[in-house]
Amino acid sequence: MQAMSRNPGESAEQWNTRASAEYHAAWDAFGVERRRLSATGIPDGGSYPALDEAYDGAMDRLEAADSDRGDAAIAVDQERRNSDRAERMRADLDHRMTDEPPADPPRRPVYDDFRDENSTVDWDRFRQAAATWDAAQTRPGSVQDPFNNSPAAE
């Protein structure tokens, strides 16, 4: 069984949809093989690999589809996170160029704002930004800039 992967030009959502469909088809095929084994009286007993090649093939297909579905879900999450970050930066730039109030209300920083390209969170910067946000929100009439992630924002 050849492993699935993202096709060239395919969006993360399309890949996720295709991988999910393959997973459901593999799950159905695995169920057929499991029922076939139980009908023939060969107990599978949850052991893997079994001596039956069709059952083993269905299990391998299911494992590959589950792995690909997980990879596709991660790609969708990363694409959405990057898209949200780009939209916030674009909105902030538009706001600074027009001197109009931002369209989105300021929000408290979340840890996803402090991930690097390896998906590692810089917890110190996040804690500092959250503390700065909380302190700014406790002062009457204060406004916090949600796009300034530096600890020395004040």
Q: pLDDT by residue (tens digit) across 24-40?
A: 999 999 998 888 887 77
Q: DSSP alpha helices (H): ranges in the chain?
A: 12-40, 53-98, 123-138
The whole domain housing 35 covers 12-97
128 contacts: CB under 8 Å, gap ≥ 6:
151
Cβ neighbours of residue 106 closer than 8 Å, sequence gap 6 or more? 143, 144, 145, 146
Lowest mean pLDDT among 88-92, 93-97, 134-138: 93-97
Please check whether residues 26 and 57 belong to one and the same domain: yes
Residues 28 and 93 in one domain: yes
Rounded distance, CA 77 to CA 105, Å?
23
Total domains in the chain come to: 2
Length reported for the chain: 154
Look up the pTM and report it.
Answer: 0.50
